[in-house]
Chains A and B, each alone.
Chain A
Amino acid sequence: MSGDKLFHRSALPAEILVRQAHVLDPRAGIDAPRDVLIRGGVIAELGEPGTTRPPSGAAVIEAAGKHLFPAFVDPHVHLRTPGQEYKETIATGTAAAAAGGFCQLIAMPNTAPTVDQVSVLEALRAKARVEAVVPTGFLAAITVGLAGEELTEMAALADAGALGFTDDGRPVASAGMLRKALQYQRLAGGVVALHEEDPALSADGVMHEGAISARLGVAGIPSISESTMVGRDGGLARYEDARVHFQHLSCVESVEALEFWRDTGAPVSGEVTPHHLTLTEEELLSLDANLKMNPPLRAESDRQALVDALRRGVIECVATDHAPHARHEKEVPFEQAPMGTTGLETAFAALYTQLVRPGVLQLPVLVERMTAGGALYGLALPRVAIGEQANVVLVDLDRDWRVGEGGYRSRSHNCCFHGRSLRGTVELTLAAGGVAHAGAGIRTTMLEEVS
């Protein structure tokens, strides 16, 4: 069913032999060196290392020492199109995703205008068919204009290709309104994804309420602003037996609320971002506006609870919440700056560097969680298996790089990891059978093969 829900520009089906890569796909049960032959954009052979002969016309990539995974899936990106193309376009956003090893994206509807009617969604689909380097799906708004007052034509939007519904960027503040959406979802189908935040508790807060906000004298966003809404809406999901997904969870109390409702059998799930898994409020002492996002970076105890929840599968997937903002928008005092950080180009390296290398999270678990985000919206999981369309990423786990030193593929540069040294580079991304991204070394190899 994913065929008519993801949109991208056509790409030549790849003809590539990736020789002697270490293939790791926890779902397919592979964790060994293999020759991976891709013909016509489909995984044709998974041979013993060094045994596969390249067919004529195929590019050969010597990948001994490198790792090949199913490519990543990001269920939460802001591509800023339509209306804010100065921040990001579908072309630049999906190029950033490809450079980060992603093969599927789900874009949020808080654009200008918002994706709250079929015509906007159709225009987006058409644009994605021309511009998207990585297959991209769309969520539509729950309420018109994200105003929380009237339902969108959810059924028509679902028919037009919406994978689900969200007012992301804002909560559905009224429980009564959300209940109606969950009832109506039975007709429309799809998942209702929620940005959880109580506006009265967040008020004019700009960072986590805690020791750092007390020191800096800026208004805090308490963790209970999020968790009390997870508690409320988990209850609604159970009562209405409605499929609800909690976006970008940030604190220990939200994990507790999610787990509570999950254990009752309510059809709920959750996602977490790389920045909430690796950074804390301590970073905010610098008042660097690139570290301002919503929900905010929280305390170390929250970070640990999120890592633990991801490890145990209580939170089932990683989502970047890639939120580009233009330089002039972020180059203002912290309290005035808009919320959001880019994340597509750094997600894997940040998590590999901060969680896998220190032994906090096993590599197969990270690969599983970084590929799971589309399945909850009904998309097929990327798999490294014969006969599957090639959705794979080749990474070098031994290479260090400094974030931002080579610029960004994203149109915006507001990355919370800017300037940090990370380990792990994406060398090659195949999405829907085509080459979406090739690092400099591999590009040269492929050009030589062609000539």
Chain B
Amino acid sequence: MRGHLLSIDDLDRPGIERILDRARSFAEVSGREIKKVPALKGRTVVNLFYEASTRTSSSFELAAKRLSADVVSVRSVGSSVEKGESLKDTVQTLSAYDPAAIVIRAPFAGAAAQVAGWTAASVVNAGDGKHEHPTQALLDVFTLRQRLGSLDGLAVWIVGDLAHSRVARSNIIAFRRMGARVTVCGPPTLIPRQIEALGCERQTTLARLAEADVVYVLRMQHERMREAYVPSLREYAQRYQINLERLREGQLLMHPGPVNRGVELSGAAIDCAASLIGEQVKAGVAVRMAVLYELLVGTPALQAVA
């Protein structure tokens, strides 16, 4: 059965838990001196990245290699994509190599789902526009489970630019599915109308931040200021920056990276004991190994897309 991971919505809670349980055993592999298992020996994984990415692309590549897969990485720069080849043609060309999986990052919502319709490979969404980033959500849930055991009853605040964040959308869904309550907080210009339809609460100030058990901070992109979503990064930082003065004892701090130091997070906060940012990055490889394993080897928790 051919499965895909296109949206975090494809997974129910037991499905998420099974992947994360497997990720825990892969995390142990990462602790060994020889960090390889033969699970995908002889199979090919294509990483197709239409956007700059450090964390996601390197961790997918490492994950596939640690499962002993052959890995082909294609980036839009220097490829025929740059010459104007359509996504469909590129995918069909790469599919001729009969890959077991295609990992795709594209700047457009729904691109991964579209790719799934054009190839016989399993497709993993590594970020499609501002829509979703399901493996980021999985590794964030993994990180919190490692620290806390469970997310049930947890209060999570997601702070920052909700409008342009695929991470926010996948994480709201994943955190809620695992039993957490989610509040989103940011400037009114950067919170989409009717975001509450995702099952979260909306705040426009940090006044009640103390209610949060986990503060999940989003990246504030400089170009948003040019587009006049906020008057200045200085004012943004005054109102929304998470720093040690605003964090209370016992709160955990997360960020998907890359961080703008001094904008959405103070430098001191990044490096404080409450910060899980380093653990998030570490979780990336193990969780992506578990996703590839689940799709290509294990009993699929992911339903084949009709």
Q: Which residue of B lies closest to A287 (CB)?
A: B110
Q: Hey, what's the 0/1 contact readout for A111-136 against B, CB within 8 Å counting as 1? A: 00000000000000000000000000
**A217: which of B88, B132, B197 is its contact (CB, 8 Å)?**
B132
Q: What B residues does A331 contact at CB under 8 A?
A: 86, 88
CA distance A336 to B110 in the complex (A): 11
The answer to whether A217 and B108 touch (CB under 8 A), given A211-B194, A328-B86, is: no
A147 contacts the other chain (CB 8 A) = no
CA distance A222 to B88 in the complex (A): 31
Q: Hey, what's the 0/1 contact readout for B84-125 against A, CB within 8 Å counting as 1? A: 001110000000000000000010111101100000000000
Q: Which residue of A lies closest to B192 (CB)?
A: A214
Q: What B residues does A54 contact at CB under 8 A?
A: none
Q: Is the CB of A216 within 8 A of B109?
A: yes
Q: Hey, what's the 0/1 contact readout for B187-206 against A, CB within 8 Å counting as 1? A: 00000111101100000000
A151 contacts the other chain (CB 8 A) = no
Tally of contacts, chain A with chain B, CB under 8 A = 62
8 A Cβ contacts from A8-49 to B: none
Q: Which residue of B lies closest to A288 (CB)?
A: B110
Q: Is the CB of A215 within 8 A of B166?
A: no
Q: Is the CB of B111 within 8 A of A333?
A: yes
A397 contacts the other chain (CB 8 A) = no
Q: What B residues does A222 contact at CB under 8 A?
A: 193
Q: Is the CB of A335 within 8 A of B108?
A: yes
A220 contacts the other chain (CB 8 A) = yes
CA distance A214 to B194 in the complex (A): 6
**B129: which of A215, A217, A328 is its contact (CB, 8 Å)?**
A217
Q: Which residue of A lies closest to B170 (CB)?
A: A217
A332 contacts the other chain (CB 8 A) = yes
Q: Is the CB of B131 within 8 A of A216?
A: yes
A160 contacts the other chain (CB 8 A) = no
The answer to whether A333 and B193 touch (CB under 8 A), given A217-B129, A217-B132, is: no
8 A Cβ contacts from A330-352 to B: 331-336
The answer to whether A287 and B193 touch (CB under 8 A), given A332-B87, A334-B108, A336-B108, is: no
Q: Which residue of A lies closest to B88 (CB)?
A: A331
Q: Hey, what's the 0/1 contact readout for B34-58 against A, CB within 8 Å counting as 1? A: 0000000000000000000000000
Q: Is the CB of A214 within 8 A of B195?
A: yes
A209 contacts the other chain (CB 8 A) = yes
B255 contacts the other chain (CB 8 A) = no
CA distance A233 to B169 in the complex (A): 38
Q: What A residues does B282 contact at CB under 8 A?
A: none
A213 contacts the other chain (CB 8 A) = yes
Q: Is the CB of B194 within 8 A of A218?
A: no
The answer to whether A332 and B193 touch (CB under 8 A), given A214-B198, A217-B129, A217-B131, is: no
Chain B's nearest CB lies how many Å from the CB of A201?
12
Q: Which residue of B lies closest to A328 (CB)?
A: B86
Chain B's nearest CB lies how many Å from the CB of A286?
8
Q: Is the CB of A335 within 8 A of B129?
A: yes
CA distance A331 to B118 in the complex (A): 11
Q: Is the CB of A213 within 8 A of B192?
A: yes
Q: Is the CB of B113 within 8 A of A287?
A: yes
Q: What A residues does B164 contact at CB under 8 A?
A: 217
Q: What A residues does B129 contact at CB under 8 A?
A: 217-218, 333, 335
Chain A's nearest CB lies how many Å from the CB of B129?
6
**B109: which of A211, A328, A332, A335 is its contact (CB, 8 Å)?**
A335
B130 contacts the other chain (CB 8 A) = yes
Q: Is the CB of A220 within 8 A of B86?
A: no
8 A Cβ contacts from A356-407 to B: none
Q: What A residues does B111 contact at CB under 8 A?
A: 333
CA distance A218 to B163 in the complex (A): 9
The answer to whether A218 and B109 touch (CB under 8 A), given A328-B86, A333-B87, A333-B114, is: yes
18 new A-B contacts, CB < 8 A, other than A216-B110, A217-B131, A287-B109, are A209-B193, A211-B194, A214-B192, A214-B194, A214-B195, A214-B198, A215-B197, A217-B192, A218-B109, A218-B130, A287-B110, A287-B113, A332-B86, A332-B87, A332-B88, A334-B108, A335-B108, A335-B110
Q: List 28 A-B contacts (CB under 8 A).
A: A209-B193, A210-B193, A211-B197, A213-B192, A214-B195, A215-B198, A217-B132, A217-B165, A217-B166, A217-B169, A217-B192, A218-B131, A220-B192, A220-B193, A222-B193, A287-B110, A287-B113, A287-B114, A331-B86, A332-B86, A332-B88, A333-B87, A333-B109, A333-B111, A333-B114, A334-B109, A335-B129, A336-B108
